[in-house]
Structure 1
């Protein structure tokens, strides 16, 4: 073999060795973990190419600067199909897994939970404080929300289903609320069709309003249909509902945590100690169990109930029995306060 042949052979061997080494380095880099020690939310702006992506990852210290990033994308072009969005990166994730996630377009999901018994303004405050939501509502007024969703103002309080909703970054506040409203409308429609015959409701709003009162009166699952039966019986007899949560709702911001006799006697559209029949609309967001109770109340003769001091209520059919139950509750309350 000539010297020239040996030289060419050596160069080829070195080139092959260099390529093999580079290939190994690229593979090592792809399999290496991200340089994060906790879950990280990463946002890739729209229109970003390879250079911008690499710069963002370096700047946020998600990967360390390296010459192998661009080569990896050339070697595995499927990983270069990344999409703009907001992604959840986890500790231990490899560079290849990161790029596969960005290429999949599976953006991070963020949860927001709306709780039964809360008011719409509480929901709006939650939305305003939640991360990655695009805020389109100018304020937290119910009139503003009604206009944004093109709803009658009376179809705002209570007409949104309480649950945990998942959303991606830049989802609008109104998009989340529209989902909740559609779910509540569907549920109320179904319950209206299947409700017990002869209930003293004029329309679906009455059903939802009753459910909201039940929601505020008890948190016990085995009491809801009993509570509903008390108010149904009162409506049928022409008795006033006399439920404190409606008074509190009608007082608005003037309620400071304690109801007085004056509060009970002060007229508002929601003061059921003063008005006859149902208040004009829901006083909170009822959950499914309270809606079921309002649509299918227990058949009873109960007309009264009062706290029993043990987390539940004592139900009675006449005023004398009710007054005794009230006295028993007050005595128990006094004993607890003296301990």
Structure 2
């Protein structure tokens, strides 16, 4: 019996000793930071000295990856010293079922707790995806197809089908995506990007509508979106947006037609070959503002916040016309005589002394 208790005591002491060693090893594991070491230069460049690997390592966690597989891979890559300790840490922090798929950037100095916390937070690498001001709805949709980080689900769908997937409830999709740079994780869907852009446009339009000037010839936020899209297409210099908006607003107030080329081009659709001919200006389309009164039925492009703000807060003044100077800027005129003079000087290569006189008279 004495021998039995002696043996049992020995086993207990061994167990305590082992537990103590494991606890020390576990504590050491928790405190050991990642160390990203230098790599030798490629064999093709033998004369290049050893260079320090950038202070970052990308770890991709695919959907459905098990915790034990993740721990094993981190250990195989030399990022942690013991996969079982990593699993134990996940259970200790109650994060064993909260690991999220994605790409994660690991840097020198991170410890195992930093890793497991980051993997559970979903703070994966974000990639920029940009929708550009002034582009059309279909251009924006098609541009996402070239984004390698996105999962494409809209390929081959019609505008109506895209609208349904994105949740655009209007009859026409044009103008309903906010042009901006969106940060997305790899394998985000093109649908998700467009949903964010649509919600952002509704938010921005609502915010700007609430801050609109008084006595505008615009009755709804949608009309503001239409006018903003025209301003976006007409503007070469950002600072001219309020002035261009002022011209269009005054023309609407006086019952004058907008007579703006971008609407004509939009109405021509695929028939536009880079030139607008005289017959194009006379062609009856719902978008030809040389023949229709007021605004076209829908936006013609994606307007940014500045264009929306300008549409709802136009610059004061008396200008009713503008013409491009050929350098991105415009000459603004209050009379048709001055405008025709500006067209002759800036568009037809002639000369008009009225331009100089008018500019010198204005403050």
Give TM-score scaled by structure 2 length.
0.73
Task: Name the structure 1 match of 2:292.
Answer: 275
1:70 aligns with 2:84: yes
Per the TM alignment, residue 80 of structure 1 is displaced from its structure 2 partner at its CA by 7.2
1:234 to 251, 259, 273: 251
| Structure number having the greater helix percentage | 1
Q: How many residue pairs are counted as aligned between the two chains? A: 319
Partner Cα distance (1:120, 1:150) in 2: 14
Task: Kindly indicate whether residue 139 of structure 2 is the aligned counterpart of residue 122 of structure 1.
Answer: yes
173-182 vs 36-45, which moves further: 36-45
Is 1:88 the counterpart of 2:104? The answer is yes
CA contact (8 A) 1:119 1:158 kept: yes
Shift of 1:279: 0.8
Find 2:182's aligned residue among 161, 165, 168: 165
CA–CA distance in 1 between the matches of 2:220 and 2:120? 50
**Structure 2: distance between partners of 1:202 and 1:271:** 21
Q: Equivalent residue for 1:3? A: none
Alignment of 1:136-155 (within 5 A): 136-139=153-156, 141-155=158-172
* Aligned twin of 1:317: 334
Q: Which runs of 5+ in 1 are unaligned?
A: 1-7, 335-339
CA-to-aligned-CA distance 1:128-170 (integer Å, 9 cap, x gap): 3334434333535321222224434435211222222223344
Relative to the length of structure 1, the TM-score reads: 0.78
Unaligned runs of 5+ in 2: 1-9, 40-52, 352-363
Distance, in Å, in 2 between the alignment partners of 1:117 and 1:297 is 19
| 1:332/1:153 CA distance change after superposition, 3 Å | same
Aligned mates of 2:350, 2:185 — CA distance in 1: 48
Quick check: 2:131–2:140 contact (8 Å CA) kept in 1? yes
State the Cα deviation string for residues 189-237 of structure 1 (Å, max 9, x = none).
3433443333222432221111111111114233212111211222233
**What corresponds to 1:33 in structure 2?**
35
Q: Is the 8 A contact 1:50 1:70 kept in 2?
A: no
8 Å CA contact 2:217, 2:249 repeated in 1:
yes
Which is further off, 201-210 or 90-99? 90-99
What is the CA distance between 1:174 and its match in structure 2? 3.0
